[in-house]
Each structure stands twice: as C-alpha cells, then as structure tokens.
Structure 1
Amino acid sequence: MLRELTPDDQQTILDFAYQREIENMFVIGSFEFSPNPFEFNTYLGYFENDTLIGLGTYFGLWSDIQINAQSRSVINAFVDEFIQRKLPVKYVIAIKRYALPTIERLKTHGREPEKITAQTLRLLKQDRFHDQSTGAETRATHQEIDHIIRLEHLVEENEADKEITEVERTRIFPDYEWLLHKEGQLISKANLHGISKNFAQIGGVMTHPAHQGKGHARQIVSAISRHWLDQGKQVTLVVSNENTTAIKVYDALGFQPVEEFIHAQYS
C-alpha cells in the first residue's frame, strides 16, 4: 500500500532511511535543514504488512525525485504517483540502481531526460585525509546569501547579473556554506548537501572563473571536510566521471569511490 507520509511518520521515515544511511543522506538531512520539511517536500511510503519497504521523496525546492526501494514495482508505483500529482520533475539524483529504473518509468509517462550524467559517490575517512585548508575559509552569514547565488549564476550560467529570486534565497542555508574570499570578493564555495549520524555530504563546490586552477576548490573542500571529520563523521561527495580535474583534487585529499551515481536533468 502506498500513502503520503505526514509529520507523525517522521520517525518511521528516519528509521527506514538509516537502514541504508549513506544512500539516504538527502532525506535524513531534510529534517536537519528545516524545522518543517513537510512544508516543501512530499514523502511517500510503500507499506507491506504495515512495514515500510520503500520511500519516495519529492524535494520541492529543487523539483527532485529520489526513490529508495528494492522492488522495481515499488519504484514504478512511486513514479506513477508523483506524475499523477502533476509534480514538476527537474532532476533525478540518486544511487544508480535506484535512479535508472526511476528514469525508465518516467519515460513511460513521456518524460525524457535532457541530460544524464554518470557520477561517482566518493568517501573520505579521517585516517586518509590530507588537509590543505589554510584557515582563511569562513562560514557564511545571512548577509552573504546573495553573493553566494551570484557566484552560482556566474559559474553555472555565465550570468553574474541575473536577477535573484526568493526561491533561490530559500535554497541557501548559510550555516552550512563555507566560503573563501580574496580582497573582499567571494572566489570559492562549498556547502553541506546532506547529513546523517555518521556521514556528511559535500556539494555546491565552485570557484569564480577568474580564480580557477589555483587550488581554491581543494582548499575550501578541505575546510568543510575537516570540520565534519572533527565531528566524527565520514565525508562524502558526488563528482561527474568526466570531471577529471575535480577527481584529481578529491583523490589528493583522500576521497575514494564507493558507489555509482546518476544525475538526470529534465527540461
């Protein structure tokens, strides 16, 4: 039986997610980042004999579907329900064995991905960490939200002067952003994408085009990694298999590949 989960089901969601913790950091982290994640996200559960055997999550701020279920039929049921609810889908970002059947089911509803990127989930443990931070890195403040978004616009869309929307501001959690400045200008950043009891997942790594190739990404990733390793967590991140430059950076810091990942983008 499939049904929508409510705040009363929060512990059930977390108990299920922690069965495969490293696969569900976005779900677990959604309860860390927001006091009421049900305001933005839709959580669907698939039950068998009153036991939750599958979890489908729609992250509303990003229009992203993430499904965690071992059965293909359960994955199909989640996709069908999301489509029936007319939820706009812009991304499917997940472990490969869950992402591919999700993408295939979306195709049966006429949703073809615009782009599919093969990625790898990489893991960093304390005993392998080669710290290259300098202490110049800082945590973001609320006053720096627009600066962060402008850097994202410049790096991702080459439009530094693009208008900033309130939705974009809502997506930024300053407490989880690490920044690097040079002469008062934000030149590199990274943030926390997901978190759980034992893991912290880094994302949003980017450097101003005029300052790339100078080790700033290595420095900022070191800083955020050191922080979470010191909290007793292992650190993960996802990188495109084609991004050989970034892979070399992460290898140098001590990250090792652990899971195949898929990032599918829809128009």
Structure 2
Amino acid sequence: MIRELTEADRQKVLDFLMPESSFNLFLIGDIHNYGFCREFQRLWGDFDNQGNLRAVLLRYYGNYIPYSRRKFDAKGFARLTLERGDLKIFSGIKEIVDQFQSLNLLPLDWANRRNLHFAELDRAEQLFLDGMNDIYQVRKGTIDDVPAMTALIHQIEEFAPDDSTEPALRQAFETGDGRTYVVTREGEMVSMARTTAENPHSAMIVGVATHPAHRRQGLASLAMSHLCREVLAEGKKLCLFYDNPAAGTIYRRIGFREIGMWSMVNAEQGK
C-alpha cells in the first residue's frame, strides 16, 4: 500500500533511512530542513501487509528519489510520479533506478542516463591542512564571497552556470544548507569546495572548482581538506558523486571510499 507520509511518520521514516544515511542524504536533509508537507516537497511510503515501511519516494520540485532495501511496489511509485506530471529528474541508487527502467513507464531519457560513483568520507586521517606556500591562502567563505564564487564557477568549462547560480549560492549561506572553503592568491579566489544538503548526520560535497590557470597544485585538495575536517568534527559523514577518473584520484587521496553507484536520468524533452 502506498500513501503520502506526514509529520506523524517522521521517526518511522528516519529510522528506515538511517542505516544507509549517506545514500539517503537528500531524503534525510530535506525532511530535516522542510518537513513533509510543503508545496514543493512531498514524500510517499510503500507499506507491506503488516504495516511495515518498505520504500520511500521523495518529490522535491520535479526531482524524484526512490529508496528501498527490499522488494517494493516500483510500478505504484512510477504511476504516482506520472500522475504528478512534473517529472524533471529521476535519481537514486543504481540498483533501484534499474527497476524503473525495466518497467519503461516513465518518460525518461534512458539513453543519456548518468551513472556516478558515490563515495563517502568518515575519518580525517588522510586530510591535510598545510598551505601549499605563502602565495596561496585558505579560509572559510562568507556570503560576501558569493560574487567571486560565481565568477570562478563561470571559468569552469565542466560546469553549466546560469542566472540561478549566484542566487542559489547566496541562499545556501542564508539558510545554512551548506558551507564553503576558498583558496585565494593576492585576494583573488582561485579554488573552492562547498557542501549542500547538510543535516545532523551528513553533508554532500559539491562545487569543487579550481581556476584553469591554477590547477595541478593541490588547491582543490587543500580546500576540501579544511572543509571536510570541520564537518567531520561535528560528527557528520561527507559524501560526493564523481564520474571523472582524475577527480576520483583526488578524492581517494584524501580518504574518500566508493560505496556504490548513483543514477540520474532527465525527463525526455517535451514530455
């Protein structure tokens, strides 16, 4: 049986999600930050005949994330998603998303599905905090750094910045959804790393960026080490996605370990 979840289900849902808290960072974070009944956010649960929760589906705007550790009603979740009519991105643990692909009910661009490595950091032994030399300085970012952060992102070919980049960065500082560490040279921002979806248990690393003229000097690792050490000191784990082998080498060097694969599929255009 599938039904919408409410505030009365909070503890049951969190208990269900916590054994794999890293994979469920987005679900836990969104419940923590926004609760169960917001215009832009809804959650549904699939229950077995004994009333035990066996799967959860999160809708955040048009982004949908399913989660389960056992057999569940994937077809019911797919039909519910279709009924909403606002699907933009469908994502989750690869093995779970595989079940929806086999159903072939959702209007998703499966041909361009992205499978990303999902990595976790839960200890600080391999992090380093020494600066590279006197030329570069590392510090915690503030909301006053948002224009410089936006300018740096616009220098990164791999990113796809748009008009929403600066407001989104500013909102992260204002809501406490994340934090940032930056590396500067003579006052110019040349590298950064930040978190998002922070909750009492975990945080996601995003926005790791170094200006093209300052790469291959360990600056991204330096920013990440400062950022990760601070978050770990609060008793939280850190997670990140990557599909770039070079990035994977950097992350493993500072202690991240791969724990699985994460799939992301965009809705078919015009659907």
> Are 2:206 and 1:208 equivalent residues in the alignment?
no
In structure 2, the CA distance between the partners of 1:249 and 1:194, relative to structure 1 (3 Å rule), is same
Counterpart for residue 78 of structure 1: 77
5+ residue gaps, structure 1: none
> Deviation at 1:165?
7.1
Given residue 59 of structure 1, which amino acid in structure 2 is its aligned partner?
Y
Give 1:1-267 correspondences, 5 Å limit: 1-34=1-34, 38-48=38-48, 49-60=50-61, 63-70=62-69, 73-89=72-88, 91-105=89-103, 107-113=104-110, 115-126=112-123, 128-132=125-129, 134=131, 136-155=137-156, 162-164=162-164, 168=168, 172-173=172-173, 175=176, 176-180=178-182, 181-195=184-198, 197-240=200-243, 243-266=244-267, 267=269
User: Whole-Å Cα distance in 1 between the matches of residues 259 and 168 of structure 2?
Assistant: 31
> Deviation at 1:211?
2.9
User: Whole-Å Cα distance in 2 between the matches of residues 184 and 164 of structure 1?
Assistant: 25
Contact 2:120/2:239 (8 A) holds in 1: yes
In structure 2, the CA distance between the partners of 1:185 and 1:33, relative to structure 1 (3 Å rule), is farther
In structure 2, the CA distance between the partners of 1:102 and 1:133, relative to structure 1 (3 Å rule), is farther
Given residue 181 of structure 2, which amino acid in structure 1 is its aligned partner?
L
User: Whole-Å Cα distance in 2 between the matches of residues 218 and 166 of structure 1?
Assistant: 24
Under a length normalisation based on structure 2, what TM-score does the superposition of the two structures give?
0.79
What secondary structure, in the 3-state scheme, does the structure 1 residue paired with 2:216 have? coil
Identity %: 22
User: Whole-Å Cα distance in 2 between the matches of residues 84 and 67 of structure 1?
Assistant: 16
Given residue 94 of structure 2, which amino acid in structure 1 is its aligned partner?
K
User: Whole-Å Cα distance in 1 between the matches of residues 40 and 159 of structure 2?
Assistant: 29
User: Whole-Å Cα distance in 1 between the matches of residues 193 and 5 of structure 2?
Assistant: 32
> Deviation at 1:244?
1.6
Given residue 92 of structure 1, which amino acid in structure 2 is its aligned partner?
F
> Deviation at 1:71?
5.0
Residues 28-56 of structure 1: CA distance to partner in whole angstroms, max 9, x if unpaired? Answer: 11244457883432211112233221100
What secondary structure, in the 3-state scheme, does the structure 1 residue paired with 2:38 have? helix
Q: How many residues align?
A: 260
5+ residue gaps, structure 2: none
Q: CA RMSD for the aligned pairs? A: 3.1
In structure 2, the CA distance between the partners of 1:84 and 1:13, relative to structure 1 (3 Å rule), is same
> Deviation at 1:57?
0.6
